Structure 1
Amino acid sequence: MVLLANFSLRGSYDPKAGKKYGGNRGAVEVSAEHSNISINMTEKTKDKDQVKPVGKLFTDVEKRNVISSLKNEIRSEVFGWLNRWKLIIVGGLSVCSIIGFIIMCWQVYAWVRRESAIYITDSITKKFAEPNIQNTLQEVASQEARTIIQSEVQPEAEEAKRQTAVFENYLNQMEVKFDAEYKNLADQVSRLAERDRLIQLADDAINNGNRQAYEELLRMANNASVDEKVRSAAKAEWFQVKRFYIGLTRVKSRNLARLQPDGTKIDLKNEELTTQELIQSMLGHNNWIVRALATSSLKDRKEGGVPVALLHAAHNDQNLDVVKEAIDSFESVTGYKGADVFGVEAAEVWWQTNEVEVEQKLKEQSQKSENPKSEEGK
């Protein structure tokens, strides 16, 4: 073992030797090789970089004292260093030990937990495999299921059923309300459509003299199965058509013409045409204006056969102007007083009762009118 100490002596004092050695003038080099100890002194010169030896300075006793003093100082330094670092070293070792212990405990815990889970699972599986346990479990499960159903599921089901019933009732009410509103709306739309159709029928009857349109209005006005509002509207349009024809005629100021064999026409006053020519024009001409004008001209022809011809035209002609003129002429020729401008049926009924009497009167009037003409000719 070799100890080397290079130090400066600052007036160290050895109490055993009773003298002071060292100082700032030199340095002592101590070398210990087993039991051989030597101390060499060097002296500092004025030149800082040069050191010269001064030889042996101490005796053996002094050497031992110096070595002992050095050992004590070294020991103090070492133990001081250990005292400073022992807490850190001990703390570090303690922390490492604690961490290692915790890791070991965790591994043990994990192993125990894993093995315990396996053991418990196996034990439970084996227990559940036993018949008595299975029966017990089934009974418990059945009882618990019944309890759960009665305490939780059944109230929820009853509440759901109640809410469903409420919702169904609401739907039924909404359906009834919707059906009523839909029916009301459909009725309104239907009435509007019917009213529009009635207006078109009235326009056709007035503007074009369409008898079928007029009779459709009359049918709807008298049909009890038709909606009351529609029937009332039909009556209004029907009266509108009748009012138009009562106060107006479209053939009053017109005259007829006689068609010649060569196809030419001769304009004549209506009174210049024969009764037979007027009847033929009334019943067979294609132009409704000609038929209406001929019918109107027959009102002054109080002759036999004229009433029948007028009723025939009133009954069959499809133009309302012709029908109106036929009824007017029939009243003028026969003396019949009708209450309806288009009262064909009433006129026919009256004629069945008074035909013979009227025809006789017309025959007599015709003879009287012919006699003055013959006398004038004589």
Structure 2
Amino acid sequence: MAYEVAMKALVLSLVLGAVAGIRPSKLVRRQVPAIYVFGDSTLDVGNNNYLPGKDVPRADKPYYGIDLPGSGKPTGRFSNGYNTADFVARKKLIPSAINRGVSYASAGAGILDSTNAGKNIPLSQQVRLFELTKAEMGPRVASNLLSRSFFLLGAGSNDFFAFATAQAKRNKTATQSDVAAFYGSLLSNYSATITELYKLGARKFGIINVGPVGCVPRVRVLNATGACADGMNQLAAGFDAALKSLLAGLAPKLPGFTYSLADSFGLTQDTFANPLALGFVSSDSACCGSGRLGAQGECTPTATLCPDRDRYIFWDSVHPSQRSAMLGAKAYYDGPARYTTPINFKQLARA
């Protein structure tokens, strides 16, 4: 019951707050009437703050939010400032976010309901929350609004962390059969999510694939040399290829369905290859944390904080810094063609 109440409060709150921090502009005409966000901590704008339970991951203490304009206080974003959802919304999609969108994203959520169960709003429940939002609109408003709105999805990393952890606990290496079953579950659930949102009125989907999860500081620190876990990256790359095929297969089956698949994996790998070209001096360590690579302790008020957050790819042991998120959103919106397929976010918004 507490979980149900929390979910209802979430809808009511975020219809008003939406993707916060976007200032109205009379000079820029918005490209879509609203943006709806589904996914994990890379897109969560504070939803987990509403959930009960001491084990729910929350970014509700300093130094989170230290670079947010106007406040410098934590809002629940797993970042030193804005996150990817904020920056996508700011790319002239919706200059004023108030009453023009809802974020359902939840830190710790996966594509699978079993991932971190009981500690987040899983993707299937996020869709259910959207259904409640649609019901609040009424059929006339919903039919006119939703087909023109932008649906941003980004999930999967937590599923890979959970899969790797489960294999390690069993002290075994995943077999081809294990991987095939894992991919099958992920793709089935993702397909069901997209199809259900489509049935509810969604037509424009901006989907961010899974990045190189083996390169986050929390994983690197487990290696004596601090190198990436290539096995995890290969697993993520394999899923990304399958996701690309899934979306291409869905398109002809769903009339009016349009999408842009953003390549977080490729963009991040390119950034790692030459971080200095983008102004980063650290590509393997957390800006906020403690111990080796800043990854042996959480980002808390007693953690070590790097002096220049814009020079770090990673904010904490898992999440990108505000500047990394900004560069990602820019690449997906209208950056080099290799980072989005078959169109970019800007073209999707105008489709």
TM-score, L = length of structure 1: 0.20
TM-score, L = length of structure 2: 0.21
> Which structure's residues are more often helix, by fraction?
1
Instruction: State which structure, 1 or 2, has the greater radius of gyration over its C-alpha atoms.
Output: 1
If asked which structure has higher relative contact order (CA below 8 Å, sep 6+), I would say: 2
